[in-house]
Amino acid sequence: NRELNVVCGDNLRLWHERLGHVNVQTIKKMVVNGTIVGVNMNNVDENFVCDGCQYGKQHKLAFRKSQPRNSKPGEYIHSDLCGPMSVPSLGGALYFVLFKDDCTGYRIVYFVKHKSQTLDCFKQLVKLIKNKFDFCVKTLRVDNGTEYVNHDFRSFLSDNGIQLETCAPYSPEQNGKSERENRTIVESARSMIYTKDMPLHLWGEAVNTAVYILNRTSNIHTPGSTPYEIWTKKKPSVQHLKIFGCEAFMQIPDCQRSKLQAKSKKTYICRVPERIFELQVVRPSNEAN
């Protein structure tokens, strides 16, 4: 095994939280193999118990072996709907629709208020893949939910030459990839929320963050790489990541404050976009506007 030579930096527990409570062994492998960049860790062998994971994760159940993965990105897509959630998200959504590319493992998530919006999400995905790879999705694999198995959805698939694969009724394990993905994403989101005691209506932000991080995390199907790198041909950097729910200070524009008012407000980071200066923040609920 290659030894990890690092200078003084952050610890493993901090990066475990920044990376949405990803398995610590996965983090170690990615750092040692150079799968991701921007990580400076001073103790890769640190041992700890994460309270957030205790709250947010359950025992993994064994699924039967999956079928071989497709070799071309964008051709074969798995999808599943998750919800309704107990509280609406910041944007009013009660569900999220997950699409996962079979070849790369890359995930794309949409948030909806109603199940009936699932078709609109798939249309957006088809357009995205067409623009990126210059071909159409060939196969969509789903469960037997009415959000997928209906006249309008079948008509769109038929018009675009897309094959629909469904699993047998009451057999969610046949749609195992999407079922597992939703569970992994929800566990990660739950762990992030409870670690920082954030309000539950931020579940959409936590789910979005979980998907962002998982796309930049290696797995058994992408050893030495990540879904993001295979999908975009670019190595991901996680240097800009902050812990979900950590405190931050947002500058108040001069035109919105008087001479003696504070120049910044305490906020909480609740989303991780592509660039650090776009970090979305939420004001504490007990703070006056």
pLDDT at residue 135 tops 50: yes
Q: Which two tokens stand for residue 262?
A: 């504070």
Q: How confident is the model at residue 180 (pLDDT cuts 50, 70, 90)?
A: confident
> Homologous superfamily of 76-214 in CATH?
Ribonuclease H-like superfamily/Ribonuclease H (3.30.420.10)
Averaged pLDDT for residues 157-167: 95
How much is the pLDDT for 123?
98
- Label residue 164 by pLDDT band (50, 70, 90): very high
Is a pLDDT exceeding 60 seen at residue 93?
yes
The answer to whether residues 81 and 95 touch, using CB atoms and an 8 Å cutoff, is yes
Rounded CA-CA distance 212/60 in Å is 22
pTM: predicted TM-score of the whole model, two decimal places: 0.76
Distance CA 175, CA 166 (A): 8
Q: Confirm if 226 and 236 have CB atoms less than 8 A apart.
A: yes
Q: Quote the pLDDT of residue 226.
A: 94
Q: What is the DSSP string of the chain?
A: -------S-EEHHHHHHHTTT--HHHHHHHHHHTSSBS--EEETT-----HHHHHH--PPPP-PPPPPPPSSTTSEEEEEEE---SS--TTS--EEEEEEETTT--EEEEEESSGGGHHHHHHHHHHHHHHHHSS---EEEE-S-TTTSSHHHHHHHHHTT-EEEEPPTT-GGGGHHHHHHHHHHHHHHHHHHHHTT--GGGHHHHHHHHHHHHTTS--TTSTTS-HHHHHHSS--B-TT---TT-EEEEEPPGGGS-TTS-SEEEEEE----SSGGG--EE--TTS--
Residue in 91, 90, 152, 85 with CA at minimum distance from that of residue 118: 152
Would you say residue 6 has pLDDT above 80? no
Q: Which residues pair with 108 in a beta bridge?
A: 99
| Residue-range domain boundaries for the chain | 10-56, 76-214, 247-282
Average of per-residue pLDDT across 47-52 = 72
Q: What is the pLDDT of residue 166?
A: 92
Cα(30)–Cα(224) distance, integer angstroms: 7
Most confident of 1-10, 75-84, 278-287: 75-84
pLDDT at 288: 42
Does 8 score more than 70 pLDDT?
Answer: no
pLDDT tens digit string along 59-91? Answer: 444 444 555 566 789 999 999 999 999 999 999
pLDDT at 190 over 80: yes
> For residues 193-219, b (16+ Cβ closer than 10 Å) or e, as one string?
bbbbebeebbbbbbbbbbbbbbbbbbe
Looking at residue 142, its pLDDT comes to 94
**Measured between alpha carbons, how far is 192 from 177 in angstroms, rounded to an integer?**
22
What is the distance between the alpha carbons of residues 154 and 141, in angstroms, rounded to a whole number? 13
Q: What does each C-alpha distance from 51 to 163, 181, 210 come to in angstroms?
A: 44, 22, 18
Residue 28 has pLDDT above 80, yes or no: no
What integer pLDDT is reported at residue 34 of this predicted model? 79
* Section 269-279 average pLDDT: 56
**Residue 273: band (very low, low, confident or very high) from pLDDT cuts 50, 70, 90:** low
User: What pLDDT was estimated at residue 228?
Assistant: 95
Q: Nearest-CA neighbor of 42 among 13, 1, 2, 79?
A: 13
Other beta carbons within 10 angstroms of residue 264's beta carbon come to: 11
Task: Name the pLDDT band for 202 (thresholds 50, 70, 90).
Answer: very high
